[in-house]
């Protein structure tokens, strides 16, 4: 079924380009995702934008007026898709085949002028966030410098009271044709008009504000909502906040890329957090309780008597939110606390004597080393695990 682009914008089939532009701007302001959070508004915004792109292009609008759809597979026209009475329909028509060989329309069947109204490009902005910001999510005001619609000419590019004139070189066709001799005989080829750049019209009295481009550079402040659980390299998309296209065309999107800053205590592995806590040898042997400042507050970490180097204590749910592709949070990661038992390197005489007495009491004056296989030829103690963790 052919789409009703006129009905999507709410205009008549004989509407002027200015009427089509005004209808699009009115609907775009009402349906923009940042203004209208209702379900279906974003999809309707895309439909309105697509309709405007089609009807603002004279060539595509002509296809619509002939009963076709310029965005369908067959390229539009009565009969619609492949097999609709045109033996070349599946290949885009005979003109496209000749273009592939000769670089332009054959036999004078050119493509016509292209629309001055173009879709805008996307913009990218990077934002530095701390681990705490990534965990909780933030709303932050940012200043962007992008192309916006020229308010003086409303995107038309001409000075008030004037309008573009038909190009004298191509007479409004947007292309010029030439005849070349080849082994097949004389072949007519087409190329964009160098005077009007393929638009078919020339702005003879351009707007002084935008110099005929229909847009100007503008600095503005917008609020970005960063969801909880984002990580380094993730991007947040703001629909319609990018660059406005030439001729006042629909804007692209703005993408905000997260740059997560290193944390002084925690290392991140997805939604999980890791940290290393040093415990004195005596505390590891006798047992104790240590207090750890987490992202959510203070937690008591029990150190059982006889704790060995590399022991890992897991605080379930104390990691970061797990952000899914649909933007929703599904659970939290864990906080892994790695205990590093610190052996003293400097002892005074009294401390040395006390350790000797302990060694004598335990029969460890001349300890026999115990070697056990680990099955893979690599150490699996604390330090090997710590090195592995440090390279995550």
Positions at the binding site for Zn(2+): 150, 153, 167, 170, 193, 196, 207, 210
Annotated binding site: 150, 153, 167, 170, 193, 196, 207, 210
Helix segments in the chain, DSSP class H: 5-9, 17-31, 41-55, 58-65, 94-102, 131-136, 281-286, 349-361, 382-390
Collapsing DSSP to helix, strand or coil, 266 comes out as coil
What are 225's two structure tokens? 């909502």
What are 180's two structure tokens? 């070349």
156: nearest Cα among 12, 11, 16, 15 = 16
Q: Which residues lie below 8 Å from residue 63, measured CB to CB, with a gap of 6+?
A: 69, 70, 75, 76, 77
Alpha-carbon dihedral 179, 180, 182, 187, rounded to 10 degrees: -30
Q: Cα dihedral sign for 347, 351, 356, 362?
A: negative
Question: What is the length of the chain?
Answer: 392
Question: What do you get for the CA distance between the two ends of the chain, in Å?
Answer: 53
Cβ atoms of residues 313 and 296 within 8 Å: no
């Amino acid at each position: 079924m052919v789409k009703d682009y006129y009905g999507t914008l709410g205009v008549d089939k004989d509407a002027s380009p200015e009427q089509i532009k005004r209808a699009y701007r009115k609907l775009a302001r009402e349906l923009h995702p940042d203004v209208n959070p209702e379900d279906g508004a974003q999809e309707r915004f895309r439909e309105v934008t697509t309709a405007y792109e089609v009807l603002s292009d004279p060539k595509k609008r002509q296809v619509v007026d002939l009963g076709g759809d310029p965005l369908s597979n067959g390229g539009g026209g009565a009969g619609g898709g492949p097999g609709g009475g045109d033996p070349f329909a599946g290949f885009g028509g005979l003109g496209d085949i000749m273009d592939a060989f000769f670089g332009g329309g054959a036999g004078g069947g050119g493509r016509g002028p292209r629309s001055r109204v173009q879709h805008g490009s996307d913009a990218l902005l990077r934002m530095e966030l701390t681990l705490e910001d990534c965990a909780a999510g933030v709303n932050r005001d940012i200043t962007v410098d992008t192309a916006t619609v020229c308010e003086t000419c409303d995107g038309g590019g001409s000075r008030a009271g004037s309008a573009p004139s038909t190009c004298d070189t191509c007479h409004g066709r947007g292309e010029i044709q030439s005849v070349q001799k080849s082994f097949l005989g004389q072949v007519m080829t087409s190329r964009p008009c160098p005077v009007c750049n393929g638009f078919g019209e020339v702005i003879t009295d351009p707007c002084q504000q935008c110099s005929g481009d229909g847009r100007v550079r503008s600095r503005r402040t917008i609020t970005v909502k960063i969801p909880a659980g984002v990580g380094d390299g993730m991007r947040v998309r703001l629909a319609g906040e990018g660059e406005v296209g030439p001729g006042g065309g629909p804007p692209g999107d703005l993408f905000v890329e997260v740059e997560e800053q290193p944390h002084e205590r925690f290392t991140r592995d997805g939604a999980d957090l890791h940290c290393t806590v040093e415990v004195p040898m005596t505390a590891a042997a006798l047992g104790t309780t240590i207090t750890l400042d987490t992202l959510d507050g203070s937690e008591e970490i029990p150190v059982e008597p006889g704790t060995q180097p590399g022991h890992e204590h897991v605080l379930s749910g104390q990691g970061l939110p797990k952000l899914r592709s649909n933007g929703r949070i599904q659970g939290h990661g864990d906080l892994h606390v790695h205990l590093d038992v610190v052996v003293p390197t400097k002892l005074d005489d009294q401390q040395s004597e006390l350790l000797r007495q302990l060694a004598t009491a335990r029969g460890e004056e001349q300890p026999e080393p115990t070697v056990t296989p680990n099955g893979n030829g690599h150490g699996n103690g604390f330090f090997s695990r710590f090195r592995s963790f440090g390279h995550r």
